A and B are shown apart, each in its own frame.
Chain A
Amino acid sequence: MKLKYAMAFPLTLLCLTTARADDVQVAVAANFTAPMQKIAEAFKKDTGHTASLSFGSSGKFYTQIKNGAPFQIFLSADDDKPAKLEQEGMTVPGTRFTYAIGQLALWSAKDGYVDSKGEVLQKGRFAHLAIANPALAPYGQAAVETMTKLGLTASVQPKLVQGENIAQTWQFIATGNAELGFVALSQVMEDGKLKAGSAWLVPADMHTPIRQDAVQLSNSKGNAAAEALMKYLKSDKARAIIKAYGYGI
């Protein structure tokens, strides 16, 4: 008898945890870290579901998802990778949508270093300009396009340092190792204001739009929280948070 009870207890616990199904694993592109944390908070308050967030580079998430990583939702920094996963049949069909359009910013940790028109780039009196690796990160790609459009590619090239992702790029600038660099506005903005330093908001016509797509992955079937979160990302409340960090919708 005793043994039966002893075995029944952990079994019950196990059933409870699986049956709750109110937890969703989300892979989040590094640039969307801050807004997603707020959204997850609000999501929990409003729906009771929990979103467990992992932050990192979209390329790494793509490789991990392809190799069986247990994510149910993927918020990419671009639109290529979710589309690719969709083609490869790894997603729930019809769930892909653009949750945010990235805003590129030329930013420096120093006040007044970057002027509101970005002319600091032309003067070129800096040792290092940080960008995200353009081969990997859409913000890096957008930064390169912007510089090409400004005709600065050749003059700036020797001063470029690359972060592996947009978070590391921000770190280079924040620690002063690079005087300035291209980051996502969301990284340096909060509640519609610049947190520190000085920035130039790069006009949208300087580069192809940074469409950030979300997709629900095929292993999320039967997960109520995953469906709820996809819906929640389109809600007014979530959109307001996203906008407050400088993204377009």
Chain B
Amino acid sequence: MTALFSRRALLSGGAALATATLLPLPALAVTEAQARGMVDALVAEVNAVIASGKSEQAMYNDFATIFDRYADVPTIAMYSLGNAGRAATPAQRQQFVGVFRTYIARKYGSRFREFVGGQIAVENARTINNYVEVQTTAYLRGEDPFRVDFHVSDQSGRNAFFNIIIEGVNMLLSERTEMAALLDRHGGNVDALIASLR
């Protein structure tokens, strides 16, 4: 990872900074360099867990913790809940975010195990509206390299990712589809949805 995040990356990061000082841009809170640095730190933590040689179950727990720490879970949760979230009471929202936190960290954290024996190279970062898209390439054993993008924002008060896009497939949309289907199954009852995620 660190080997790949090398001179070329630093140079292009420098170029981005130079451009930022020259062009009049809207007030941006998270910079491309910060977003890139955040994804680098995330990847380094995942790699450290993989290198630790722990049991697979211990790794899952660590991955879930890492996911939770770097993701803006309340925003992902409320987006996934969609329209039903607008009608929910503050108490219901709080409970939903709570159960969703465990659900999402387990679900996506467990996927980090696929990086065992592989690596993620941070390729590029670009600003889209008021967030930064960090483009990475995942090199996994026995598979063709594929693209993974992290969308990073600081609108939660800290730098955190709110979406992961793997070869075009978008976590926010997948989870909104999943929550809508679960809600349907429970007749649109948010409390029943919360209970089912526990």
**A and B from one complex:** no
